[in-house]
Structure 1
Amino acid sequence: MEQKERCVCRRKHREAPEERGMMNRLNRIEGQIRGIKAMVENERYCVDILIQVAAVQAALNSFSKVLLEHHIKSCVVDDIKSGDSDATVEELCRLLQKLMR
């Protein structure tokens, strides 16, 4: 079976509750980043900044887990049902390798 090349411009419609939840998480992360920037500008102690950086990393990891779950339950399942299982599984494996670096 010939492997179909994936277009990097694929799109995904999200229902309003899912999109709203994702945007809320991203807005909180953005606020945390602005807070870290202010801490640097205000010459805050390194340890305090590092603790906030760890909090941002944890928030991004949490966002990624939720997004990955939605991706598997929707995009991956839909592609497999449409008969595109080989390419879909390969794409998912590549994604997981990148996420686990």
Structure 2
Amino acid sequence: MDIGAGTNNKREAAEKVAIIQRLARIEGQVRGLKQMAEGERRTLDQIQQVNAVVAALREVALLSISQEVKAQLAGMAASPAESGGDVQNLVELLRSTFRLV
């Protein structure tokens, strides 16, 4: 039995929980932003909240990307001869990532 495999699964589960928790916070921020708009809060306050939501979404994207890169690299290490598709997947992932910036 591979001892590292269980550790990886636990780490992946913890990372998934972290992403879900961040998304729940973002959901709350968006609800707050809606209330700000309904309550006619200052535009500056609303823009600051929008910036916070955008930053939080980028963090979620980075966490997701990190998980995927780790998984792809582990797959490549396990079977280097068959990693051509994995490399293409990483290239596509990075291409999409650069659209976030």
Coarse TM-score class (shorter-chain normalised): 0.7 to 0.9
Q: Where does the alignment leave 5 or more consecutive residues of structure 1 unmatched?
A: 1-12
CA contact (8 A) 2:29 2:49 kept: yes
The aligned counterpart of 2:89 is: 91
The aligned counterpart of 2:75 is: 79
CA offsets, 1:58-92, max 9 Å, x none?
Answer: 11111111111111112x02432344421111121
Q: Where does the alignment leave 5 or more consecutive residues of structure 2 unmatched?
A: 1-8
TM-score, reference length from structure 1: 0.75
The aligned counterpart of 2:53 is: 56
Q: Which aligned runs of 4 or more in structure 1 are off by greater than 4 angstroms? A: none
Distance 1:51 1:78 in 2: 39
CA contact (8 A) 2:15 2:63 kept: no
Distance 2:96 2:68 in 1: 15
Residue-pair matches, total: 88
Distance 1:84 1:34 in 2: 46
The aligned counterpart of 1:34 is: 31
**Alignment RMSD, CA only?**
1.9
Q: Greater helix share, 1 or 2?
A: 2
Cα distance change on mapping 1:16 and 1:87 into 2, 3 Å: closer
Provide the identity percentage: 38
CA contact (8 A) 2:65 2:93 kept: no
CA offsets, 1:15-61, max 9 Å, x none?
Answer: 54222211111100110011111111111111111110000111111
